[in-house]
Amino acid sequence: MEPFDRYVAAWNAGDLDAWLDAHGDEAEYVSLAGPEPRAFKGHEGLREVWAESRANWHRFELSVVDDEGDVIEVTFSGMELEQGIELSGVLWFTVESRDGKITRLRSAMDAGQLL
């Protein structure tokens, strides 16, 4: 199983240890999906991503739609905690990996931001 497939499976299962295991020790995650770009480095930074994301959602699931090109299309669905609103949409990812582990991951709401 590719590292991004493990990433998605662990995320959906709520398994932090397996999700971290999909990443190299010094992995970098860059989110372009919010109002301002944010970067997180290493497992400590990834734990921050996990905690922030889980704090805002009752449920947040990912499903890979297309992973054939340089940019991976992923749908998300979830229930936002504060107002209990069901939300869904598309996220785009680029993934770099080495030795079966993610070394760099970038996400955006618009695929053009990643090209």
Tell me the pLDDT tens digit for each residue of 34-93: 889 999 999 999 999 999 999 999 899 999 999 988 999 999 999 999 999 999 999 999
pLDDT at 1: 62
Q: pTM of the prediction?
A: 0.92
Residue 108's region, left for phi above 0, alpha for psi from -120 to 50, else beta, is beta
CATH top-level class for 3-102?
Answer: alpha beta
Task: Work out the pLDDT band at 33, boundaries 50, 70, 90.
Answer: confident
Nearest partner of 32 among 88, 115, 107, judged by Cα = 107
Q: How many Å apart are CA 52 and CA 76, to the nearest integer?
A: 16
DSSP conformation class of 32: -
Give residue limits of the domains in the chain. Answer: 3-102
Q: How many Å apart are CA 110 and CA 28, to the nearest integer?
A: 20
